[in-house]
Amino acid sequence: MKRDKVIGQGYHHRAGLPHAEIEALRATVGSARGATLYVNLEPCSHYGRTPPCVDAIVKAGITRVVCCTPDPNPKVCSRAIKRLRQAGVSVSVGGLVEEAESLNEAFFAFHHQHRPFIAIKFAASLDGKIATSSHDSQWITNEQARNFARNLRRQYQAVLVGINTILRDNPHLGVRAPGKPDPLRIVLDSTLRLPMTSQVLRDKNALIFTTRRGNPTKRQQLIRKGISLVVSPRDFISLRTVMKELARREIISIFVEGGGTVLGSLVDAGLVDKVYAFYAPILIGGKTAVSAVGGEGAPILSRALRLTKVFKKTFGDNILIGGYTANNNKKIRSARHGS
């Protein structure tokens, strides 16, 4: 902002690319010297995947920075503010804090919880089934709802599914939009039943979690294909270990698309932060039909996972009900995934 006019705007497109401040400076019309920079989050002050934004701000001659909130990353928190002030830049902090934290919900959750922000999604009948007893599931919801759900993948760094979803549906798990990068595809597969012709293996942008029970021949095939593998020395996949490994890889957010066994394991472990539940006006019924959320479940209603900040959206006769859980600051419970 300069002389009450916007002279440049920008946003952070994805991890590894220039931050919003750099994009805004590059888009500036004329000189940024003497301008005010408005950002929702404190600029970075350290070398990570990109150089420090603070250096670029000072070099550009920005005289004032207004940011909603300090960066929750301990490598940055308030250090950039201090450096800017030392360089003679006026810094104002505060205002629209809740909006800024909501805009960066995954980033804040990652640094507060030391694990990825986890959103789960399912498409179900009114009686909570995601497939019939014969595992027929295509399609429960309408095309409009499915397109909306597919576009949600763009908001997350990774998409995660269990092996049963791969075997039954052979999902693509991409955004299917020209020029738009796909999220990392993560599969939980204890014994490596994953077919080499699966769509998730169409390129190297995949990560497979397995165990010592994993088929050794399949393991070598995946390695030769350039697919990343994480092998548990035990007979099951520990969700705690999965989260620790993903945090190590700086995967900030995950969109989990099923199936019911994986969703149940995450709910039981207290690892769900956000829910997208799509419903179609049909009843499937059947004792052996597949439920949206498996696992052990809540023994009593008072321990059931309850959503807050609930939102709704309709797609013709389909409806999305979503919201946040109260698990954000809870300790991860011990849990395993064995499919």
Residues classed as catalytic: 21
For 164, list phi and psi in degrees, rounded to 5: -65, -35
- How many other CB atoms are there within 10 angstroms of residue 8's CB atom? 19
SS (H, E, C) the chain: CECCECCCCCCCCCCCCCCHHHHHHHCCCCCCCCCEEEEEECCCCCCCCCCCHHHHHHHHCCCEEEEEECCCCCCCCCHHHHHHHHCCCEEEECCCHHHHHHHCHHHHHHHHHCCCEEEEEEEEECCCEEECCCCCCCCCCCHHHHHHHHHHHHHCCEEEEEHHHHHHHCCCCCCCCCCCCCCEEEEECCCCCCCCCCHHHCCCCEEEEEECCCCHHHHHHHHHHCCEEEEECCCCEEHHHHHHHHHHCCCCEEEECCCHHHHHHHHHCCCCCEEEEEEECCCCCCCCCEECCCCCCCCCHHHCCCCEEEEEEEECCEEEEEEECCCCCCCCCCCEECC
